[in-house]
Structure 1
């Protein structure tokens, strides 16, 4: 057989055992708040431990030769689907949602750190009316999915240390997986230590302005670049410049390559500040913030539109506050909101629209195309122009003073094509299901980029409750495809994947 299904099923069983433990945490939160629906998490945990235990303990221990690239891709791709299928059960069992489709969509949105929600719509409860156990489960799903359940499991389950690099490559975002140490399990452990450490610091920073419960939920969503909030009005409902500033900073940090955080902690700050991708990431964020602030500050708004159509701010401080928050929220694909960007002046809306195509840095928890791919795409285009002038010249593409291999460039170009192809296909499907073109395109773009809010009827003050059931399954597929960088999902549909 080409694919060792015993290995795949046993590993998925191990992940379900881990999920059963994770499900106990919202059950504990529900118990602390005396919420009757907390029992639904205990039942879901029992289902997960039963299925996982049977798979884990009856299929035998694989050897090194049994875990190859095919098994790695299959495990990673199927894990997000299986975990979302089980993770959706509490919403239905607890009576919070009466549709399993809605529950699956919300859970997949959580694990993939998309942040698109069906709550607050017609026929679904508002976020504020939900039991705390379910609010915490949404945020916890974000946090676990942010760094990746597979990466976490590599750190705590020795069995996945066998053939673990295949899983790590399939899971970690970016054109290539940047190992911090020679041992993949040690790499995963250090990534999670950094992730947990920054999360704790953010929680402490938010405590002066939030309750502990809200601080934990927003820190989980921030570090995962997810965007689920405990308020229907998202972060904007707090109307606090301090909260906006703290979350803006930590969203920016979450959108950075975690290898850079590791180098910083090792005292190698010089190499961090010399990183080309970081320069571009910071530059795009600064440029977008500047453009939006100028377009929404009343004294300068008229420079770009004589009638200054759209919401504008009277003070420069306000304009910078909202511009910086929304710029960082969109480029990092976090999706938190403090303003309705759809009613901003056209220049500001256009800038936000362009940020939807950028994404965070490779190796971050952010989604989207990733900054490094844009850098390499521009460099390749400039190289082609120079090649026309000097056809015999050898013009290698360099990143951080290192030559980029041709196979990496090929991967980048293919990714862009596949990304746009899925985006347009998703748009057509959503339009066929009855959404207007802007809403269809916005929903597809937001979900494949793991952003959350979109445009049209899925804007920053709207939700996805009105999307037809089939559309929610399609968007869920786009979420997981975007989260796993497309190849990991699409490879399962390639006939050659199943052949010898």
Structure 2
């Protein structure tokens, strides 16, 4: 039987009923995710399970209704895919905020959405532990129930690989039209399908993701400073390159070199293309170690560790092993956009702090869970700049841009350049808007790059030991949108504001 409200008229460029139907499917799936923290609450007996149960009930009811009446009966098209992805991330942040509000853990709806969007986009910025502009005191991280600590980390983990990719992997609801969502959710400069079918691709990526999460969980749990709950939360946050911790002091609270180095290793892993991890698991070591992007990613991290650790050792008089430990941790945390902290980098010498600030404008590899400006884009920009210099000296020469043996088409070059210009423009606009609320230049810059880069901590009033609670509510909504734009790599969101997108 055909779904209700289906029109017999010729199909428009965007079928809004189809969009509602697929959006309902994701809201329905979110209901299952909301049930998991309720189980954690029953384990610890903190009596907050009802807030998750009510939220899950709302998600099941709304999502199920939309799916029942507007279930798609044809393949999704690219415009519908982009619209669904943007609406899904925003809508799921609203749904995911419900437990905070229903339980009273966060009295402000804006703060609840901020915390949830920060989780799903793997940003890691938090409003916990601070006072809002209207005088509400948000609880410290350690003071909120464990079910909510788990929900924050679970939101990271689901958002890391992409909740839409997860849905494609376990719910065969979208058929072949799911490829449009997969491309919109993973809009990097290169596409790397492991199998011809998007559903199988998503499953394989999630198998790799789950395997690494389990490995880190066991290694962290092996240390006496972490119980199983803290280990699973930090494993979720690390593999998602998120940064939410169960402690106000982040990883520094555990004061363990072992824990630091385990997380350093897995932050590096999370910043690598997961398709390359899959190939490595299959024994294709040549593809992994010869991959130019992984080499460039490792080189940037290596340079960062040498400069930052060296400055800590020579200028700030850290012990050489401590300098390496703290320097490597913060470099990995920023490059991969994880945002964990073991030291206050704002107190470092200017050399180390400035170089770390430059790393705020980098990111992981394409196909990783990291945010920011992916390494592949930087490689294309650098190679294109080199080509332009040679072209000036040899104006009649034909000089293609190559990365390894692969020639980069002009279309990709234009797309990368457009992305970079848009990224800087949106970042600068965000910083300008934050400055209008009375913040100094470093605080404004720090808040904007932390949001659009999905990094978490920023600079100034939003440094690694601070939070975002004191921002005016309007400013928080600006950062909420920046987090979503950054997570979906700009074009996915901005394209729906283009007049051409809506033109028949």
Aligned-partner Cα distance in 2 for 1:409–1:60: 38
Q: How does 1:7-406 map to 2 (within 5 A)?
A: 7-64=18-75, 67-122=76-131, 123-209=137-223, 210-297=226-313, 300-301=314-315, 311-313=316-318, 315-406=319-410
- What's the CA shift for 1:92? 0.8
Aligned-partner Cα distance in 2 for 1:135–1:23: 13
Cross-structure match for 1:452? 456
- What's the CA shift for 1:173? 4.7
Q: Which of 488, 494, 498 is residue 494 of structure 1 equivalent to?
A: 498
- What's the CA shift for 1:60? 3.5
SS of 1:114's equivalent in the other structure is: coil
**Per-residue CA distance 1:135-182 (angstroms, 9 max, x = gap):** 000000000000001111111222223212211111115213211111
**Contact 1:169 1:176 survives alignment (8 Å):** no
**Contact 1:175 1:373 survives alignment (8 Å):** yes
Aligned-partner Cα distance in 2 for 1:148–1:5: 23
Which ranges of 4 or more aligned residues in structure 1 deviate by more than 4 Å? none
SS of 2:212's equivalent in the other structure is: helix
**Contact 1:153 1:160 survives alignment (8 Å):** no
Aligned-partner Cα distance in 1 for 2:220–2:179: 36
Aligned-partner Cα distance in 2 for 1:82–1:312: 49
**Contact 2:22 2:71 survives alignment (8 Å):** no
- What's the CA shift for 1:406? 1.1
SS of 2:469's equivalent in the other structure is: coil
**Contact 1:173 1:364 survives alignment (8 Å):** no
Q: Point out where structure 2 has 5 or more consecutive residues left out of the alignment.
A: 1-11, 132-136
**Per-residue CA distance 1:319-370 (angstroms, 9 max, x = gap):** 0000000000000000000000000000110111011001111110000011
Q: TM-score, normalised to structure 1's length?
A: 0.96
Aligned-partner Cα distance in 2 for 1:359–1:267: 27
Aligned residues between the structures: 486
Q: TM-score, normalised to structure 2's length?
A: 0.95
**Per-residue CA distance 1:427-456 (angstroms, 9 max, x = gap):** 111011221111111100110000000000
**Per-residue CA distance 1:290-320 (angstroms, 9 max, x = gap):** 11111111xx22xxxxxxxxx541x211000
Aligned-partner Cα distance in 2 for 1:449–1:339: 20
**Contact 2:272 2:365 survives alignment (8 Å):** yes
SS of 2:38's equivalent in the other structure is: helix
Asked if 1:428 is matched to 2:432, the reply is yes
Asked if 1:461 is matched to 2:477, the reply is no
Aligned-partner Cα distance in 2 for 1:173–1:100: 30
Cross-structure match for 2:134? none
Q: Point out where structure 1 has 5 or more consecutive residues left out of the alignment.
A: 302-310
SS of 1:128's equivalent in the other structure is: helix
**Contact 1:63 1:162 survives alignment (8 Å):** no
**Contact 2:240 2:370 survives alignment (8 Å):** yes
